[in-house]
Every structure is written in structure tokens, then in C-alpha cells.
Chain A
Amino acid sequence: MSSPPPILLHALNHPENMLSLSLSSWDLLIRQARGAGLLTNLHDAIDRLGELNSIPERPRNHLESARTLTDKHQRDVHWEVKCILEALKALKQPITLLKGSAYLIADLPVAKGRLFSDIDILVPKEAIEEVEQTLRLKGWMLTTHDAYDQRYYRTWMHELPPLRHATRNTTLDVHHNILPETARLHPSPKKLLQAAISVNEDNSLYVLSPADMVLHSATHLFHDGELEHGLRDLVDLDGLLRHFGNQEAFWSELVERAKEMDLTRPLYYALRYSKKFLNTPIPEETIIASQAGSPPAFMPYWMDMLFLRALAPDHLSCRDWLSGTARLLLFIRAHFLRMPLHLLIPHLFHKAFISPRSNGAT
């Protein structure tokens, strides 16, 4: 990075140093953490040191306020998952939670500081139509009625168009895979579901296995173009790796599973940047094994230039003259990875010139 490393990274990596920050450093830290959605993580890091009362009142107010909001998000996710299970009860179709809600329901430490925007579930492709119909009978509605968008999702994507509950206003993404049908990489959703782990008594609710959870998180961040919460997602990855990494067998399983699932490239990036940004403890042999997923010569250099910018906190103090270009290039890269050019170019053309005219572009 051309500018000094953001104070937020310093705080995440050395929480004890927050105890001696000046007020003007706190000013910048709170702003960066808010932009990155990581205020609650800072709160919890200081709380673990037992030092909440020794930091100045003004920044503490912001951290405690964020903790209060996070608690609310977590209550809501628990309730929403209950509602989804209730709605799908008669189908007898188990569902698998993905991402944030999975971390929360599986009671993983990484969920503690996390905010939530929607719930993601994975079901077998054969069941997706029935699941959608049932949800729509029970109050979930389509968020887009545009014929093009509908066709786009249903033909090419790995998920339904987002559903929104009519009264609770919650968003639900129903997936049948973790990458689009058209993507360059082809993880097998069957294998994901086979390895999934039950998290309730009647086996109606599952989460991905540890290795798959990490691989999905990596794929989402490095292959799916959703970089607006880049650093927060990287903090998720770091948290998962630290938690599962305590079990010795985990690391070799992770590397093997990446090969089996065609996800060695996202794993390479995940380990590289998690270590670079957050000092994630990763065994040396795992780093070496993950090199198998490294992109061809010179590419790592270019990708560093892009990702080191795109993964920085989303705050003006962390932007340089290349930040905007970096995010744009990664956005284009993600689209390129999602779809072959003969599909992508007509799609982008439609989005740029036709959708805006037929009211309500998405």
C-alpha cells in the first residue's frame, strides 16, 4: 500500500494498543471501523481485555452503540431462521444456512461482532422450485418483477432473485450453488450438501462443514465481486481459520477439499490476504500447498495492487488515487469470472442501456 497501513488494521491486530490511543487517533479509528462495519469487533476486542472502562467515553459510546445494534441484528437472525424453518416445515426439505446466519446459528465466535443484512440458504436444485413456491405462499415476495432480471437469475445464476418478506421486510437469498452456473470454477453443490452438518434436533437445519464454510467465504470474497464489505469478509475468513485451525486435521482437509471442489484459486487468495492483513496463523505447509492455486507469473503482483486497495477499510482516509480504479477493475474481473464473454457483454449492454429505461433498474 502506498499510504501507511490503516489504523483499523493495527487495532485489529494489536487490540492492546487501543488502550493508549490519543483522542485524535480514536477519531480516525472509529470512522474507519464504521466504514468497514467493524465497530463491534473493536468493542469485543477491548472487552476481552477487560478494559472497556479504561478507554475515553466518547469513542466508547460509539463502540457500545454498535454492540447494541449488533445484538439486535443477532436476535433478528435467530427469529428469521425460526420463521423460515416454520414456513418450510411441511416440505420436509432440510435447508443449509450460508455465511453470517450459519456462523451465528452454529455459534461460531466469528458471528459475535457481525452485522447482518440478509439470510442466505442453500437447497438442492431439484427442490428449489418447491421451496420458492412455499416461501411465496408464506409471505415472501419477489423483489424484482423485471422480466430480464428474472430470466437472468433463473437461467444463469446460482440463486433465485432475492425474496423479501412482506411484513418483516427481511431479505432471503435462496441458492442452489455457491457460484453461478456460468462461472469459470465448478464446485459441486451435491458434495457441499453431503458434508453439511446438522445444527438442530430434528435435522431440518444444516451448516456447511468447516472446510466448505471457509471455501465458500473465500469464493464469495475473491470470486464473486462483492467487495463493498471486503475487509469485514476478510475478518470473517480470519475468524473461521483461527477457530477451525485449532483442530489439527483441519488444514490438510481444507487443502484437499479445495482441490476436490475446484476452489484452489480462491483458497490461495484467502490465505494470502488473511495472513497479510490480519496475521492469521496458518501452518507453513498449508501456505506451500495453497501455492497450487496461485495465478500464473506476474499476476500475484497485479492482484496485490488491486486487492490491497479494495480490501482496505471503506473510508476516505484509506483511499488513494488508484482505489476507485482498483475496485472497478475487480468488479469487472468478478463479472468476467461469473460469465463467459458471449453472455457477459450482452448482459452488461442490457444493464447499461435497456434496464434504466424500463423503469426500476436493479
Chain B
Amino acid sequence: MRLGELDASILKRQLRTEGISLQTGPFITQISTQAPDLIESLHTLYSDALICEYAEFSDFHISVDRPPGLRRWLQPQIDFYFDGTAPFNPFPAGQALPLFEWGLNWAISQHAHQYLIIHAAVIEKEGHAVIMPAPPGSGKSTLCAGLVHNGWRLLSDELTLLDLHNGQATPLARPVGLKNDSIEVIRRFAPQATLSPITVDTHKGAVALMKPPADSVEKSDQPAQPAWVIFPKYIAGAAATLTPHSKAKACIALGDNAFNYSIHGVNGFNLLTNMLDQCDCYDFSYSNLSDAVSIFSQLEPPA
């Protein structure tokens, strides 16, 4: 059943006790939390995701809760627990949602070496995927959020999972992280989008999460073949322009942006080079989302 079909009070009770098993892309995550703001956000953002009522096996066991001790009364904090251990320092109590998202990304990138995992957004149309690696601040998530409300399917905003056996991108349709000004940009550009409340003063500034489109979540079991690698860059006032990018440099950039490229050794190199043989590579500079959408709609997959 979908998480949204669960009554809010039952969801709350389950999250506070034995937890729920949530399916996101190929992973089942057992989540429990006492944090009321996180419970509410999960209800909103993951309502289309499947929950496994009698999951016997979960890939990850996560809880997001207050650390024990007197501190909870003074300056409350919140901790991310991965199977009972806290790998990070606590966050301020109000940041449960960003902490959960960040922690789940961490859990995947540390443990799922059946994939080559690239820090990149990935979207798909008509069976062809675009991989968009980019450093923070380049407008990758904004572009991704805009495109998935205009004909493209969201596979992931943060983690591109490339299957080691066939090079296909595996969907992980989870919320899209929007930062600072881009929150308002998306509110105006895609009024139909559902956004979480804004968390201010995180280490990345103000953060809101956008619910993935229902259609993208429903198609979470359908991988896609990469056809383009596009390096987006937001430049104020720039016209939306694609310029060809060398495949050799794209290969190095993808390796640099991967969480586990060196772990895969020669298999990772072979995966990337084989994939790039089948892809067109571009730099993409833009300032206006509508122009970006129209340029992307004209992309022709490589022959």
C-alpha cells in the first residue's frame, strides 16, 4: 500500500513505535522517529511511496531521534541513527527532515556498491535518461525540479545509481532538495508542486524539499538507459545554451562526482566509458527555467 493511504494517526503511531518499512527505488528502509515535524513531512513528501506492511528484510534501519541526556531541555538536538549507532554529530532539533534525507543518502552511498553512485540528478523521457552532475550552487536541483514538472520523469535529484551489470540508471524517486532562492523560483514556476515547510539555518542555508511527482514514484521500478550527460550551470542573465562537452572530460568529471568510483576500480572505469560511448555530452548554461525546459524538449537522443 502507499504511505498516503495510511491514516495519519496510524502512521504516527507506527513511526513512533516499531517503525514503517518504506520502499524508495530499489531500497527498503525501516524508519522510526518521535520527531513530530518529521512525521508530518514524511506524510506529505512520501505519500506516493510504497510501504511494505510485513517487510521481513530491510536494507537500512534508520531512526531520527533526540539524543539521550539533559540537553533536550536546553538546546534540543536531533540525531540520525543507522542501525543503532549515530555516525554524525547531532543537528539542531528543527532540522529533522534535512537530516533524514541527508542520512538516507549517506546510508545508500556507503553501502550500496552494487551500483556506481554518482552525485548527480537523473531524469528520463521516452526511455532516455539525462545525467546532470554538478557542484552545489550550480542550479542542478532547480533545473531538475522544473523539468520533472514538464514532461520528464524524476529518477533522482542527488544520487544517480548506475547498475554495474547493464549501465542502466536505477530510479530512486525521492524528494528534491531546494535551497534558498530556488524555493521561490519553483513555487512560481510549478505552482502544482508540493513543498515541505522551509528549514532555515541549515549548513546549506534555507532548505525545502519538493515532493516527487506521483508518476515518477509509480515508475520507480523502471530503469532507464543514459543518453546524455549534461553539466548545468545557472548564470544570471545567460541565455539557455547547450555547448558540446568532451567525452573524456565528462568521464573524469563523472568519476570525480561519484561516491564510490575508486571502490569499483576497473569495473567503474569500464562502466563509465561504455556508457559515454552511447551518450552525448553538453555544458548547459541557463538563467530562465522556461527556456531551459524548451531546450531540453528539443534534445534528440544519439543515434
Does A162 interact with chain B (Cβ within 8 Å)? no
Type the 1/0 row for B46-85, where 1 means its CB is closer than 8 Å to any CB of A.
0000000000111101000000000000000000000111
In the complex, how many angstroms separate the beta carbon of B14 from the nearest chain A beta carbon? 18
What B residues does A24 contact at CB under 8 A? 56-57
Majority DSSP secondary structure for residues of B touching A: loop
In the complex, how many angstroms separate the beta carbon of B222 from the nearest chain A beta carbon? 18
Does A358 interact with chain B (Cβ within 8 Å)? no
Which stretch in B110-118, B250-258, B277-285 binds the other chain? B110-118
In the complex, how many angstroms separate the beta carbon of A33 from the nearest chain B beta carbon? 11
Can you list 28 residue pairs at the A/B interface with Cβ under 8 Å?
Answer: A22-B56, A23-B56, A24-B57, A26-B57, A27-B56, A27-B57, A27-B58, A30-B57, A31-B61, A31-B83, A35-B83, A56-B57, A59-B57, A62-B111, A65-B111, A65-B112, A65-B113, A66-B113, A68-B113, A68-B263, A68-B264, A69-B113, A72-B264, A72-B265, A315-B83, A315-B84, A316-B83, A316-B84
Bound together, the chains give a CA A97 to CA B175 distance in angstroms of: 48
Bound together, the chains give a CA A23 to CA B58 distance in angstroms of: 9
Please tell me if the beta carbons of A65 and B114 are within 8 angstroms of each other in the complex.
yes
Please tell me if the beta carbons of B56 and A61 are within 8 angstroms of each other in the complex.
no
In the complex, how many angstroms separate the beta carbon of B201 from the nearest chain A beta carbon? 26
In the complex, how many angstroms separate the beta carbon of B103 from the nearest chain A beta carbon? 16
B residues adjacent to A (C-beta < 8 A): 28, 56-59, 61, 83-85, 111-114, 262-265
Bound together, the chains give a CA A59 to CA B85 distance in angstroms of: 20
Please tell me if the beta carbons of B262 and A72 are within 8 angstroms of each other in the complex.
yes
What B residues does A58 contact at CB under 8 A? 28, 57, 59
Size class of A's contact patch?
A: 20 to 34
A39 closest partner in B (C-beta):
B111
In the complex, how many angstroms separate the beta carbon of A223 from the nearest chain B beta carbon? 27
A30-68 contacts to B, CB under 8 A, are: 30-31, 34-35, 56, 58-59, 61-62, 64-66, 68
What B residues does A35 contact at CB under 8 A? 83, 85
Bound together, the chains give a CA A264 to CA B83 distance in angstroms of: 38
Known: A24-B57, A27-B58. A34 touches B83 (CB 8 A): yes
Please tell me if the beta carbons of A61 and B114 are within 8 angstroms of each other in the complex.
yes
A317 closest partner in B (C-beta):
B84
Bound together, the chains give a CA A262 to CA B58 distance in angstroms of: 48
Does A149 interact with chain B (Cβ within 8 Å)? no
In the complex, how many angstroms separate the beta carbon of B217 from the nearest chain A beta carbon? 20
Bound together, the chains give a CA A360 to CA B263 distance in angstroms of: 31
Known: A24-B57, A56-B57, A72-B263. A61 touches B112 (CB 8 A): yes
In the complex, how many angstroms separate the beta carbon of A319 from the nearest chain B beta carbon? 9
What A residues does B59 contact at CB under 8 A? 58, 61-62
Type the 1/0 row for A114-158, where 1 means its CB is closer than 8 Å to any CB of B.
000000000000000000000000000000000000000000000
